[in-house]
Structure 1
Amino acid sequence: MTAAVIRSAAPTDKAAWLTLWQGYLAFYGTELDEAVTAMTWSRIIDPTSPVFTRLAVVDGVIAGFATCILHPRTWAVEPACYLEDLFVDPASRGSGVGRALIDDLIATGRRDGWTNLYWHTNDDNATARRLYDSYDKADGFVRYRLPLRK
């Protein structure tokens, strides 16, 4: 397997992204309304949206994605980047695709002046946490999620 090439998502990537997206949702044991998936894709390819996706391409096949939201901060002038979704095709796991996606975001953030890159994961996601812990240890914050609609 050759090294992953990381690039921005393009409109022509929809079918490949959708396959990975469905795998990502299955991994987390969830389903989303088709309208949510359609809106997510629309945001990804809209150049004016703060949502963007980087794709990992290995041997011509999209093997993973990182979907992020670039947003302003109250504690800094420069923006921060929230890595909301990271997924690697199971056939490509352990080959460096996840690391290549994160490294790409780090390089982009340093180039573009982001204050930080951050993300969340389930505490029992041991495989991903081994990768994440190689960058830094979890910061100890506890997340609260209040549903605002039924």
Structure 2
Amino acid sequence: MIETRRLEPADRERWEELFRAYIAFYERELDQTAYDRAWREFASDARLHALGAWLDGRLVGITHFLVHPSTSEPDLCYLEDLFTDPQVRGRGVARALIGAVRDWALEHGCGSVYWQTHETNAVARRLYDDVARNEGYIVYTLPV
């Protein structure tokens, strides 16, 4: 059975292992201050939020998300990061985390949950196509 809940201080080391693997999956690098900053934000649970998924008592998946206002509907919940340990993929961990974020968003009055993934992430997209609707938007990024 998969348990989902907020991360606690004792989860820090394993969370960082999983988050580093997520960053590496997207061929990015972060310095230690970025991990430390993210953890502080999750601990305060004010602007950024994090949930974990446990399977057989081990933290095997993480998700990070935030809420922002919308001009045309209730606040939106943006699921920013989602990662599961490759050894447990296909066992429902990512689906459970998405469901936990959806439940959190519902409890907090959000109108919807949305996220993005790279077009080449075929494995994740199969799950996403099953649990959500691809509305066809293209994402542009303008560095500042």
Give the TM-score taking structure 1 as reference length. 0.91
Partner SS, residue 39 of structure 1: helix
1:110 positional shift: 2.4
Q: CA RMSD in A?
A: 1.1
**Stretch deviating more after TM superposition (119-128 or 106-115):** 106-115
> What is the aligned length?
144
Whichever residue aligns with residue 98 of structure 2, its letter is I
- CA–CA separation in structure 2 for the residues paired with 1:31 and 1:136: 29
Alpha-carbon displacement from aligned partner over 1:42-82 (angstroms, at most 9, x marks no partner)? 111113x2200010011111000110011222223x32110
Partner SS, residue 62 of structure 1: strand
Aligned residue in 1 for 2:50: 53
Whichever residue aligns with residue 33 of structure 2, its letter is A
Whichever residue aligns with residue 63 of structure 2, its letter is A
Whichever residue aligns with residue 10 of structure 2, its letter is T
Whichever residue aligns with residue 64 of structure 1, its letter is G
Partner SS, residue 131 of structure 2: coil
Aligned residue in 2 for 1:126: 122
Aligned residue in 2 for 1:13: 11
- CA–CA separation in structure 2 for the residues paired with 1:83 and 1:66: 7
1:40 positional shift: 0.8
8 Å CA contact 1:52–1:69 kept in 2: the answer is yes
Aligned residue in 1 for 2:93: 97
Partner SS, residue 119 of structure 2: coil
Unmatched 5+ stretches in structure 1: none
Aligned residue in 2 for 1:144: 140
Give the TM-score taking structure 2 as reference length. 0.95
Aligned residue in 1 for 2:27: 29
The runs of at least 4 aligned residues of structure 1 exceeding 6 Å deviation read none
